[in-house]
Amino acid sequence: MTAVDPVPADPFPADPFSAEPLPVDPTIAGRLDQLHADLTGHGAYDLGFPGATDLPDMTAVARFDRLLLNNVGHPYAAGGAYRLHTKVVEHEVVQFVADLVHAPLDNRHGYVTTGSTESNLWALWQARQHLPGAAVFASTAAHYSIAKNAELLGMRLYLIPADDRGEIRYDLLRTAVTEHRRRRRGAGAIVVATIGTTMTEAVDDVLLIDEALAGVDAAQRWIHADAALAGIPLALCDPLTRPGFTFADGVHSFAVSGHKFLATPFPCGIVVALADRHTGRGSITYTAAPDSTITGSRSGHAPLWLWYLLRYWGLPGLRGRAVAARDLAGYTERQLHGIGWPAWRAQEHAFTVVFPRPPQHFLDRWPLATDDRGNAHVVCMPGKTRDLIDRFVTDLAHVLKGAVSLPNSIAC
């Protein structure tokens, strides 16, 4: 009698979400355990890069993790037959940011991006559509994505020197714009204002940029605020105490990161622009929505997390986090002065404390961003603590005393 092979288990159970999970290979589990331990260890020395770490309990949105959420196409379009998206909350996220930076109620558009590089690319793309042949002007302290995006879009870029703090030189901007328009017979000008530079958190004042563009007709200018780092914290300040950078001050588009101040555990961003300057590419039959974004498929999880975080904290909570981060930056600056190490902040609202680059054996423990002028910095984002700063300063004091090795440090 011939043996009969057993019938294999159905690989597609009726309800895959209720199926028993497959056993995890011990090798895979070991790799993941080691990776988690390594990353957690790195986090105990994370002061050199801008990411908030005070993420609240996200159990409320964890139930969506096993759903593919795709916000394909125009953020305000329903999406035709496809229903697994979170555009309804994406719209609310965009509206929250638009309100915060005073975008006109009847003249706003935007969406949740993969991060500020995409946001900047989209803003420059919109500006190029509106002002064909216009050049882009940005400071030498602008984010590297500006030069990359200008190259991708085939746009002429003029880099304007920044001052010692990292703020654009408005006098040199005026000269460069005037000369470009003389040579190109009145061509438009697209200016990128950096609202919180990567290294010093300097802020380009849009009101002063507007003055530098005095010879450019309003219809021939576009000011984009790359506010990835400092946009939301500054928007929470008294307008009389901060530089201009909102739509009320003259910007046409605005970009902010979600994974910096807002503390999402993955990169994302929000871009907002004046709707009457927005140009799409027509409706796509497959998506039943205009092709108005850089990417086609877009994460539906990022808007959901952003929506929950904004609802969780609200304006009072966001403002309190910003105040606490600035207080910690002031504490850090004083502690560094206390051990005889120069330190400074580019503006009174900055979370970033700048100082001379420490020796390499110190940086081997404390990985800090550095620049070609010999500076390093720490960024006192929400979630960082005085205990962490005290460990940092204690280790630096050992180095300044000539120690060639650092004492054992206890992780936070």
**Residue 172's Cα: distance from chain center in Å?**
27
Is 141's pLDDT higher than 50? yes
Dihedral pair phi/psi, residue 299, rounded to 5° = -60, 130
Is 316's pLDDT higher than 70? yes
Instruction: Supply 255's token pair.
Output: 């970009």
| E strand or H helix at 170 | helix 170-183
Alpha-carbon dihedral sign for residues 147, 149, 150, 154: positive
User: What pLDDT sits at residue 411?
Assistant: 43
Mean pLDDT of the chain: 91
pTM of the model: 0.90
Which are the contacts of 403, defined by CB distance < 8 A and separation ≥ 6?
none
Q: How many angstroms separate the CA atoms of 251 and 195, rounded?
A: 12
pLDDT in tens, 188-224: 999 999 999 999 999 999 999 999 998 888 889 999 9
Which are the contacts of 305, defined by CB distance < 8 A and separation ≥ 6?
58, 61, 258, 264, 266, 268
| CB atoms closer than 10 angstroms to residue 372 | 6
Is 303's pLDDT higher than 90? yes
Pairing type for strands 269-273 and 253-257 reads: antiparallel
Q: Are 412 and 388 in contact (CB under 8 A)?
A: yes
Is 156's pLDDT higher than 90? yes
Pairing type for strands 352-356 and 375-379 reads: antiparallel
- In single-letter form, the type of residue at position 158 comes to Y
Mean pLDDT of 315-342: 97
User: What pLDDT sits at residue 182?
Assistant: 87
Give the residue among 241, 226, 159 at the shortest CA–CA distance from 196: 226
Give the residue among 299, 320, 364, 250 at the shortest CA–CA distance from 68: 299
Q: Are 228 and 379 in contact (CB under 8 A)?
A: no
User: What pLDDT sits at residue 412?
Assistant: 39
Q: Are 205 and 189 in contact (CB under 8 A)?
A: no
pLDDT in tens, 17-51: 566 777 778 898 899 999 999 999 999 999 999 99
Residues in the chain: 412
Q: Is 273 helix (H, G, I), strand (E, B) or coil?
A: strand
pLDDT in tens, 335-393: 999 999 999 999 999 999 999 999 999 999 999 999 999 999 999 999 999 999 999 99
Q: Are 243 and 206 in contact (CB under 8 A)?
A: yes
Q: How many angstroms separate the CA atoms of 147 and 151, rounded?
A: 6
